[in-house]
């Protein structure tokens, strides 16, 4: 991966911060238990936050299985999407910040117009210098398949929401947005704040079996991430539902 690329997606960084908070709380709780019950009570027990390598391996195997299923199911979409990879090129940062949201339909969709909760999206996002910061690809430098799909109903940045207006399901669109409608001064991306971004988006219907497959793949991935920190993702998820 290029050094200019973001190492984790915004969603992943949020979860990492959450995990850190949980870990701090677990350490404090564990220390309090030792003080109250004595060190004997802690002997032989599993410390909160302790990594279980066997669980990590189990979750990784489950994730890889889901990933292979997803790759097979999304192959035709990938083959079509990758045909527009030539669109991933540098653009003028100053002009993009001045122009507002600009769209270019690379392929017109034939379905209904997208709304907040009726579509899933394959995507790639890149900076003015052409470096990719996030995508659905399995490898940004030499992609061979999709490894994830986005559910926009979870909430998207303003420029994305503005950019998909009027887009139809099955279509592929390039969206350029100014920094103030991307992450503004809330997050450093592309080497700074208020940086313009460009996305290529393919919208597909949020229908079965892809709807369930996307959710299951995301859960399997997060389960692995949490396990690597010694945290039970399923328990966290139940408490937030």
pLDDT digits (tens, 9 = 90+) for 46-97: 455 789 999 999 999 999 999 999 999 999 999 999 999 999 999 999 999 9
Give the single-character DSSP code of 48: T
Sign, Cα dihedral of 84, 87, 89, 93: negative
Q: What residues have CB less than 8 Å from 97, skipping those under 6 apart? A: 178, 179, 180, 194, 196
| 127: in domain | yes
| 25: in domain | no
Tell me the mean pLDDT in the region 12-41. 42
CATH number at residue 168: 3.10.50.40
| 7: in domain | no
| 27: in domain | no
| 53: in domain | no
d(CA 203, CA 150): 10
Are residues 121 and 199 in contact, defined by beta-carbon separation less than 8 angstroms? no
pLDDT of residue 48: 54
| 137: in domain | yes
pLDDT of residue 25: 46
Nearest to 104 by CA among 118, 120, 87: 87
154 lies in which domain range? 75-211
d(CA 178, CA 185): 12
d(CA 55, CA 51): 8
Number of domains in the chain: 1
Are residues 82 and 120 in contact, defined by beta-carbon separation less than 8 angstroms? no
| 153: in domain | yes
């Amino acid at each position: 991966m290029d050094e200019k690329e973001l190492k984790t997606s915004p969603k992943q960084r949020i979860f990492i911060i959450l995990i850190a908070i949980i870990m701090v709380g677990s350490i404090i709780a564990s220390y309090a238990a030792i003080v109250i019950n004595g060190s004997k009570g802690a002997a032989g027990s599993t410390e909160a936050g302790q990594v279980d390598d066997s669980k990590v391996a189990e979750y990784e195997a489950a994730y890889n299985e889901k990933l292979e299923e997803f790759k097979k199911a999304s192959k035709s979409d990938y083959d079509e999407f990758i045909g527009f990879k030539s669109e991933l090129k540098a653009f003028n940062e100053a002009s993009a910040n001045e122009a507002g949201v600009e769209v270019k339909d690379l392929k017109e969709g034939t379905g209904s117009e997208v709304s907040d909760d009726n579509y899933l999206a394959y995507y790639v996002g890149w900076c003015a210098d052409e470096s990719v910061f996030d995508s659905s690809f399995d490898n940004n430098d030499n992609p061979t398949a999709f490894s994830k799909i986005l559910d926009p109903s979870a909430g998207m940045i303003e420029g994305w929401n503005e950019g998909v207006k009027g887009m139809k399901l099955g279509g592929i669109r390039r969206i350029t947005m100014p920094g103030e409608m991307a992450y503004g001064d809330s997050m450093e991306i592309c080497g700074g704040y208020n940086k313009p971004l460009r996305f290529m988006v393919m919208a597909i219907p949020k229908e079965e079996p892809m709807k369930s497959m996307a959710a299951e793949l995301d859960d399997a991935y997060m389960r692995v991430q949490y396990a690597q920190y010694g945290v039970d993702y399923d328990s966290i998820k139940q408490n937030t539902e």
